[in-house]
Chain A
Amino acid sequence: MSDVVEKTLTALPSLLSLDSQPGSAKLSSTSKLGTLIRGITELTSKHEEEKLIQRELASIKEQVSSPNTSMRQMKELMVRAIYCEMLGYEASFSYIHAIKLAQQGTALEKRVGYLAVSLFLNESHELLLLLVNTVLKDLQSTNLIEVCMALTVVSQMFPKDMIPAILPLVEEKLTHPKEIIRRKAVLALYKFYLIAPNQVQHIHNKFRKALCDKDPGVMTASLHIYLQMITENPEGYKDLAACFVTILKQVVGGKLPMDFNYHSVPAPWLQIQLLRILSLLGKNDQSASEIMYEVLDESLRRAEMNHNITYAILYECVKCIYTIHPKSELLEKAAKCIGNFVLSPKINLKYLGLKALTYVVQQDPKLALQHQMTIIECLDHPDLIIKREVLELLFRITNAQNVTVIVEKMLEFLSISKDDYTTIDLVGKVAELAEKYAPDNEWFIETMNTVFSLGGDTMQPDIPNNFLKLLSEGFDSVEEDRKLRLFAVDSYVSLLQGEPGKLPQRFLQVISWVLGEYSHLMEELEPAAVLRLLAKLLDMKHTSSETKSWVLIAMTKLCEGGAGVSVAQEVCETYSSSMDTVLRQRAQELQYLSHNSELRAKVLPRDAHMEPLEVDSSLSFLDGFVSEALAAGAAPYKPPHQRQEELAQAKALSLEPYSLSLPISMSSCSIADRQSPTLLSISSGLSGDSTDISHKGGSTTLNLDGVKRVWGREGYLAHKEPVEETAQVEVPSPVQSPSQQKEADSSHSQTQTPIPTPEPEQEKKQLASSLFVGLSSQSSACLMGKSEPTPQRFRRKAKGQGSSAGVSEQIPNSLVTSPSTVDNLLCNNLLDSNIASETDVSSPKQTSQLAQGLTTANGTCDVEGELTDSNIKGTKPSLIRDNGMVAADPAPHKDPDGPKDSYLSSHLPAELSGLSCSEITPLCCNQSLDLSACHVQKEDSLVLVVFMTNSSDSDIQQILLQFDSEELEVSCVSDSPVEEVRSHSVAVCQYSLTVKRPSVHVEVAGSVSFHVPVGIPQAVQFSYKLPLTNFVRPLAVSTEEYGTMWLAFSHDTKQNLRLINDVQEPLTATLNVLKKKLQLHVVEIIGMEGIVACRLLRDQPCLMHCRVHADTLAVWLRSPVPDLPDCLLYHCQRALQEH
């Protein structure tokens, strides 16, 4: 027995020591996962592995769905399922079980459940909705680990729509005593900010609190949010610059706990984050930059250790220094840093050095010059990444003098690179450089040839487009144009005589277009010879049908003379029976025009110069035909999207609420019969113009200015699908013409000629001198090749944008305008009858008026329209006369602070006094002039009332008030603005505001300049901010109209809002709150659903559909205006919160 005891006791320590190693304790070889993994590693073929995994998955599937599987076993199964997914086998059946595990398991099983969820699903997966409740529960748990897990999963993925459900709980966690919870909560909010910024708008002040958290980890986490917000809006956070500088100073000074050190560098992640923020804040801002100089200097000085992490900080510092307002001392140090990087033997640092150099080279060209030998060496580096970076750098310093060498280097790289992305990028750059700096025609054409052959069919379609445009538009000198075109023709003919089979399709298209257009310039060239060359292209196996149709068009342009016609005839015979309808059409055209040279000259005039082609994009010449057809009972034209919509409605269940219930057959009845406006009559109104601008506008406006002929094929190039055949085409060597050879010799690039130089060093130096030629010879002004005005050889003639661009603007969106007419009409009536301040009126009378209004909008009863027009005219001027400006006498006693408001409000124009008016807020003040303002909501406008108080003893003259706003349009209500304010008096001006671009809060910035009798003219700036709600007005529509509009609006947002629960009818109560606070119009409430409508002054409607869902209100907003739903949603949220 004692033996047994002894053995056990001796076994104990080894057991304990094993356990003291945390990792090994968990390697349970007996587990099924272990068996699986071992099984897989023993296999030899992919096929066997597949079989094994399929077996495994089948067994997992069986077990997870069995009701007897305990959560503990489930956890084990999930781990195996994750493993199978990682190997690339789908295990989607387990997703739902992962969610279940997260929901029902104990803390540990939960952990695996959450992990599985976060690995299996992504943000948009629908199953994620099932996780919401679990997360909600865990966030409220008392177990810290569960809260942590919930926050971890939330910060990785969460359905956007469900954020409001958990937002309050996450916010609450910001004040949690445990720092790990606070930290995770901050990161969760960061995630929310990224996916739905408008939903966390109201907690910005809490972010500030997180920034000031006593735990450095929480503070670091909050910087992610700040970095994001500052990237989007650097102006809004200038006040924090000093704060960030202080933090950085403390970090650099080693004030943080040692835990945050990384290889004895204090909190490098934090430092880098701060440096990035600072560079954003200091960009173009001298005063903000000035407070950073000291700490940047300190950072540079401290980061001297030889370790990657210090280099990381240095790199960020350098970037920051070059981004913010420059300071010469710092720039010098930064330049030295970059030098160290570039010269470093470590390849990673070299790469970053080159990158930094690329970044700064436009500011500091001399730096590139200093390192020219290193750069040259890097050009021959075996690592393509380094080479690529050097080319990027060279691209930035290209000018007219070094372009040939740099482009040559780029093309060299292109011929060895196999990566499509690099090719596309570089090809674009070469084309750009060639176009900008080409020294002569030959070089340009040769380079473009290489670009086309190397770029193949993957390159950006605008490269060939631009090239053809350049050729066709020509330059200032006719002779020059001719030469360029001639050379292009010459070079293409010789290419076609060679081996055209290897050229990419795009290039063949370019070639055939150029030959078709310009081969006549070459007199010694027979058109028939060209035709034969082109016909050869048609016979090639790899030519795509698109290229073929280009070729056929080119042939159509060229077929003349006996030989030509016979070639054309042959081709026609083959293709007029082609299965491809486009080809067949082209062949028919060719056949017809080859016989009728008169017609051909008319349709395809040679030398059609740049007279802009008149294109009637609205096809108005067909109007007569259309109206005839309509009269004969034809169905009005419907744009495809509408047809589709109706088709979908006819076939499937309607998923859209309030869809149009009109049967399609009704569309055939004539427009005149229609009393009530519907989508149909509107669309037929559009078809009166017989065009669907929104559809065709893109294609017509896009390419017009390059188009010369009606049937020119080039118009299709911009939006054609990339050609299917992406067969790699070998690089044909560009044809060397004698003139080019000469050019190369005369130029500085001796390296081009393959003379074996004995000293490679010598060669490099020469290369350097040719590469950096523009840099060394002249000052930096010349170096900035990009801004250099002169060397751009191929400048396009300035051309007016195609006339059709205007057309699309002119087409009014009748759907949107119609309600506005109604509103104007209504409001005028209301104003007339003095019910001005009551906003939410909806009576039967109104509805009938509305119906009338809408018909007016549609133009069927013009008489009434005019009537109301004259009504408006009749009432408005009188209002304006009264409103315009009121110069009031000074009040007898004026207290500086409190009563000022009431004092000022007594100056409020009489006609505004009954209306709801905001508090009067001071805008700015000066020793002589005080500016205050308030806004008054009128029925059809929002009036900004500005009070100018002259508190000095002298009169103020030549007052000029100016406003500027991105979101608002400001117009003066009175005809003559206030120009002077007498001493101790108040002048009032009114401005009417309308929204240009909706935003949650809109702001007007303004400035006032004025003259005081003695002294210099003065100017003061101010800004006035107000929430969007001020511009919201009810929109009285009927349910049917609502339905029509709903379908027509394209921008929408969905979200859940809080429902007011403590009353009998929660929906009605909630909507009433919204109605009261936001001036919405409740159209109808049916059971658990309600529809609400409003408009933004003047004519921007927004519709809202609400449905009660458990204890939340699911709302869906739609509007034709992009940002409006989001903004309105925000205000609804606020309104309900405040309630």
Chain B
Amino acid sequence: MQFMLLFSRQGKLRLQKWYVPLSDKEKKKITRELVQTVLARKPKMCSFLEWRDLKVVYKRYASLYFCCAIEDQDNELITLEIIHRYVELLDKYFGSVCELDIIFNFEKAYFILDEFLLGGEAQETSKKNVLKAIEQADLLQENIDFQTRLFSGTVCKNLARPCCSVRAVPLEVDSPPPPAETTQQQQQYLKRHKHIIDIEVAGLFFCFISTLTLICPM
């Protein structure tokens, strides 16, 4: 694969990953022209493009276009599935992902992409393994994030998605995982993160108790 681009229906770039060395100027030019070409195509048209000397595979999920440029001998259909698998991964990670998730957490989206595709080749195709790798790295992060959040006193504020003029439309993953699996997964997640939650709960109590002691010394 030569590069992957994510852009919105308005033509705004949301993510870009280049696997071939190109100058910034070329990248910008390719991005601009390709985005235009893809946006101009009608929904019922073929997902494959022979654009300049590149083979381009794109797919639209809700308001986002995922677009890959591949080598000549690469399989177009499997590239479509690579895109789909990536969306599935995002969906699972963010929980019914929408464009907003990717905008506000693009670095996370990059991390997931890096675990899935490396140097332009599919690195790990097992969904479980990719998510495991991401979560392991995240675990550390959450730990620290949590502590800072807790002690800077912003614990309960504004955890919901920020409001923004971009609508929060979930990307439609064609085959959503059956509900049973989801709950199971959530449970798994809870189990895995139990110690964090424990810390969190303990921390809250600590916070709470210290407030209490401050407010009304018994």
Q: Which of B31-48 contact A (CB under 8 A)?
A: 44-48
Q: What is the minimal beta-carbon distance from A957 to any residue of chain B, in angstroms?
A: 52
CA distance A191 to B193 in the complex (A): 35
Q: Is the CB of B165 within 8 A of A348?
A: no
CA distance A338 to B198 in the complex (A): 58
Known: A23-B95, A386-B46. A269 touches B78 (CB 8 A): yes
CA distance A352 to B94 in the complex (A): 34
Known: A24-B159, A82-B107, A112-B107. A187 touches B77 (CB 8 A): no
Q: Mark A270-308, 1 if CB is under 8 A from B, else 0.
A: 101000100000000000000000000000000000001
**CB of B215 closer than 8 Å to a CB of A:** yes
Q: What is the minimal beta-carbon distance from A261 to any residue of chain B, in angstroms?
A: 9
Specify which chain B residues have a CB less than 8 angstroms from the CB of A257 in the assembled complex: 126
**CB of A878 closer than 8 Å to a CB of B:** no
CB-contact partner of A308 in B77, B144, B155, B165, under 8 A: B77
**CB of B184 closer than 8 Å to a CB of A:** no
**CB of B125 closer than 8 Å to a CB of A:** yes
CB-contact partner of A90 in B24, B156, B164, under 8 A: B24
Q: Is the CB of A108 within 8 A of B144?
A: yes
CA distance A23 to B46 in the complex (A): 33
Specify which chain A residues have a CB less than 8 angstroms from the CB of B165 in the assembled complex: 41-42
Specify which chain A residues have a CB less than 8 angstroms from the CB of B80 in the assembled complex: 308, 312, 348
Q: Is the CB of A421 within 8 A of B53?
A: yes
CB-contact partner of B212 in A4, A115, A347, under 8 A: A4
CA distance A111 to B137 in the complex (A): 9
Specify which chain A residues have a CB less than 8 angstroms from the CB of B145 in the assembled complex: 26
CA distance A108 to B148 in the complex (A): 14
CA distance A4 to B214 in the complex (A): 13
**CB of A605 closer than 8 Å to a CB of B:** no
Q: Is the CB of A145 within 8 A of B85?
A: no
Known: A5-B208, A308-B80. A88 touches B101 (CB 8 A): no
**CB of B210 closer than 8 Å to a CB of A:** no
Q: Is the CB of A37 within 8 A of B126?
A: no
Q: Which residue of B lies closest to A40 (CB)?
A: B12
Q: Is the CB of A187 within 8 A of B48?
A: no
**CB of B181 closer than 8 Å to a CB of A:** no
Q: What is the minimal beta-carbon distance from A631 to any residue of chain B, in angstroms?
A: 52
**CB of A220 closer than 8 Å to a CB of B:** yes
Q: Is the CB of B75 within 8 A of A316?
A: yes
CA distance A312 to B165 in the complex (A): 39
Q: What is the minimal beta-carbon distance from B194 to any residue of chain A, in angstroms?
A: 11
Q: Which residue of B lies closest to A42 (CB)?
A: B165
**CB of B22 closer than 8 Å to a CB of A:** yes
CB-contact partner of A262 in B101, B125, B141, under 8 A: B125
Specify which chain A residues have a CB less than 8 angstroms from the CB of B17 in the assembled complex: 119
CB-contact partner of A115 in B110, B162, B166, under 8 A: B110
Q: What is the minimal beta-carbon distance from A858 to any residue of chain B, in angstroms?
A: 45
Known: A15-B156, A122-B21, A152-B114. A385 touches B49 (CB 8 A): yes
CB-contact partner of B110 in A30, A119, A184, under 8 A: A119
Q: Is the CB of B119 within 8 A of A187?
A: yes
Q: Is the CB of B52 within 8 A of A421?
A: yes
**CB of A841 closer than 8 Å to a CB of B:** no
**CB of B169 closer than 8 Å to a CB of A:** no
**CB of A395 closer than 8 Å to a CB of B:** no
Specify which chain A residues have a CB less than 8 angstroms from the CB of B23 in the assembled complex: 122
CB-contact partner of A187 in B121, B141, B158, under 8 A: B121
Q: Is the CB of A22 within 8 A of B118?
A: no
CA distance A23 to B95 in the complex (A): 6
Known: A115-B114, A184-B123. A259 touches B129 (CB 8 A): yes
CB-contact partner of A8 in B14, B104, B140, B204, under 8 A: B204
Q: What is the minimal beta-carbon distance from A190 to any residue of chain B, in angstroms?
A: 7
CA distance A252 to B154 in the complex (A): 53
How many residues of chain A get a CB closer than 8 Å to chain B's CBs? 89
Q: Is the CB of A385 within 8 A of B123?
A: no
Known: A38-B164, A123-B21. A315 touches B140 (CB 8 A): no
**CB of A20 closer than 8 Å to a CB of B:** yes
**CB of A648 closer than 8 Å to a CB of B:** no
Q: Is the CB of B81 within 8 A of A220?
A: no
Specify which chain A residues have a CB less than 8 angstroms from the CB of B47 in the assembled complex: 347-348
Q: Is the CB of B81 within 8 A of A268?
A: yes
CA distance A259 to B17 in the complex (A): 26
Q: Is the CB of A88 within 8 A of B193?
A: no
Q: What is the minimal beta-carbon distance from A183 to any residue of chain B, in angstroms?
A: 7
CB-contact partner of A87 in B13, B135, B136, B197, under 8 A: B13
**CB of B190 closer than 8 Å to a CB of A:** yes
Q: Which residue of A lies closest to B82 (CB)?
A: A269
Q: Which residue of A lies closest to B81 (CB)?
A: A309
CA distance A172 to B61 in the complex (A): 42
Known: A29-B162, A347-B45. A86 touches B16 (CB 8 A): yes
Interface of A, helix, strand, loop or mixed by DSSP: helix
Q: Is the CB of A83 within 8 A of B106?
A: yes
Q: What is the minimal beta-carbon distance from B108 to any residue of chain A, in angstroms?
A: 7
**CB of B133 closer than 8 Å to a CB of A:** yes
**CB of A155 closer than 8 Å to a CB of B:** yes
Q: What is the minimal beta-carbon distance from B11 to any residue of chain A, in angstroms?
A: 12
**CB of A608 closer than 8 Å to a CB of B:** no
Specify which chain B residues have a CB less than 8 angstroms from the CB of A119 in the assembled complex: 16-17, 110
CA distance A34 to B53 in the complex (A): 38
Q: Mark A78-93, 1 if CB is under 8 A from B, else 0.
A: 0100110011101000
Q: Which of B1-35 contact A (CB under 8 A)?
A: 13-19, 21-24, 28
CB-contact partner of A191 in B119, B175, B208, under 8 A: B119
Specify which chain A residues have a CB less than 8 angstroms from the CB of B18 in the assembled complex: 122
CA distance A5 to B106 in the complex (A): 38
Q: Is the CB of A347 within 8 A of B44?
A: yes
Q: Which of B89-136 contact A (CB under 8 A)?
A: 93-95, 97, 101, 103-108, 110-111, 114, 118-119, 121-129, 133, 135-136
Q: Mark A14-41, 1 if CB is under 8 A from B, else 0.
A: 0110111111111101100110011001
Q: Is the CB of A25 within 8 A of B159?
A: yes
Q: Which residue of B lies closest to A276 (CB)?
A: B73
Specify which chain A residues have a CB less than 8 angstroms from the CB of B154 in the assembled complex: 30
CB-contact partner of B200 in A4, A16, A383, under 8 A: A16
Known: A5-B208, A86-B106, A224-B121. A24 touches B77 (CB 8 A): no
Known: A145-B136, A316-B75, A421-B53. A24 touches B122 (CB 8 A): no
CA distance A410 to B121 in the complex (A): 36
CA distance A262 to B18 in the complex (A): 26
Specify which chain B residues have a CB less than 8 angstroms from the CB of A419 in the assembled complex: 51-52
Q: Is the CB of B208 within 8 A of A79?
A: no
CB-contact partner of A22 in B15, B94, B166, B208, under 8 A: B94
Q: Is the CB of B164 within 8 A of A41?
A: yes
Q: Mark A173-197, 1 if CB is under 8 A from B, else 0.
A: 0000000100110010011000000
CB-contact partner of A348 in B48, B97, B140, under 8 A: B48
CA distance A151 to B45 in the complex (A): 40
CB-contact partner of A86 in B13, B73, B162, B193, under 8 A: B13
Q: Is the CB of B78 within 8 A of A272?
A: yes
Q: Mark A418-456, 1 if CB is under 8 A from B, else 0.
A: 010110000000000000000000000000000000000
**CB of A388 closer than 8 Å to a CB of B:** yes
Q: Which residue of A lies closest to B23 (CB)?
A: A122
Q: Which of B131-189 contact A (CB under 8 A)?
A: 133, 135-138, 140-142, 144-145, 154-162, 164-166, 175, 186, 189
Across the A-B interface, the 3 shortest Cβ-Cβ residue pairs: A23-B94, A29-B162, A312-B77
10 A-B residue pairs with CB within 8 Å = A29-B161, A41-B164, A108-B137, A111-B111, A118-B114, A145-B140, A190-B119, A309-B81, A312-B75, A347-B44
Interface residues of B (CB under 8 A from A): 13-19, 21-24, 28, 44-53, 73, 75-78, 80-82, 85, 93-95, 97, 101, 103-108, 110-111, 114, 118-119, 121-129, 133, 135-138, 140-142, 144-145, 154-162, 164-166, 175, 186, 189-190, 193, 197, 200-201, 204, 208, 211-212, 215-216
A-B contact sample (11 more), CB < 8 A, given A217-B124, A348-B80: A21-B95, A23-B101, A86-B15, A90-B24, A187-B119, A217-B125, A217-B129, A308-B81, A312-B81, A316-B78, A351-B48
